[in-house]
Structure 1
């Protein structure tokens, strides 16, 4: 794992690792296309050293193309992802992103709740949470 931060997507995304969780923060108002999604996933691979980890992705007021959502869903670089947002639009985008994921995916409006959920996926922790939702709960 690399210390510090990595910028991706022409500076629209900043990644860091803390306590076994990858933090991905997108600049509010960003428009994410497939090129930016691929660049962000390369940055995840770089900062994690290729070791899949849980990720908190802060995507408040971020527009994501369908191709970018599909690209994010195909990554093998995360064990689980908690999407942190603040609006109904953020919640709907998070639900759309979860359609093709191969890993647990949840939407949160509380950073503390998101981190608590992700802590269950840290290797050596309590293991995967029972009854995790696949993102559909983001619509309720």
Structure 2
């Protein structure tokens, strides 16, 4: 794994790894297209050395194209993803992203709750089932 942080998607996304969890922070107001998604996933592989890890993705006020949502859903670079947002719109975007994911995916409005949920998704641990609707209860 690489130390520090890495920037992706033309500066729209900053990634890092701390305590075995990838953090991905998208600049509020960003519009994420498929090329941005691909670049972010390459950055994930680069910062983790190709070892899948759980991810906290902060996506407050971010617009994501359908093609980018599909690209994110196909990644094998994460074990689980907690999407951190603050509005109903963020929650809807997170729900749309979950449609094709191959990994557990939950939405949170509390960073502490998101980190607690992700802490159970470390390499080698069993993976608990998510909520039936794919969205956590709003805090």
Q: What TM-score, normalized to structure 1?
A: 0.93
CA contact (8 A) 2:108 2:137 kept: no
Instruction: Tell me the SS of whatever aligns to 2:135.
Output: helix
Cα contact 2:2–2:49 (8 A) shared by 1: yes
The two structures have a TM-score, normalised by structure 2, of 0.94
Contact 1:58 1:83 in 2 (8 A): yes
| Displacement over 3 Å in runs of 4+ | none
Find the residue that maps to 1:83 and give its secondary structure: strand
TM-fit CA distance, 1:124: 5.1
CA-atom RMSD in angstroms: 1.6
Following superposition of structure 1 onto structure 2, how do residues 109-124 of structure 1 map, counting pairs within 5 Å?
109-123=109-123
Asked whether the equivalents of residues 20 and 122 of structure 1 are also in contact (C-alpha less than 8 Å), the reply is: yes
- In structure 1, runs of 5+ residues without a counterpart are none
How far apart in 2 are the matches of 1:128 and 1:23?
A: 19
Residue aligning to 1:94: 94
1:133 aligns to 2:131 (yes or no):
yes
Shift of 1:132: 1.5
Q: Which runs of 5+ in 2 are unaligned?
A: none
Separation (CA, whole Å) in 1 of partners of 2:112 and 2:65: 28
Please give the alpha-carbon distance, in whole angstroms, between the structure 2 residues aligned to 1:74 and 1:134: 21
Q: Structure 1 CA distance, aligned partners of 2:124 and 2:137?
A: 31
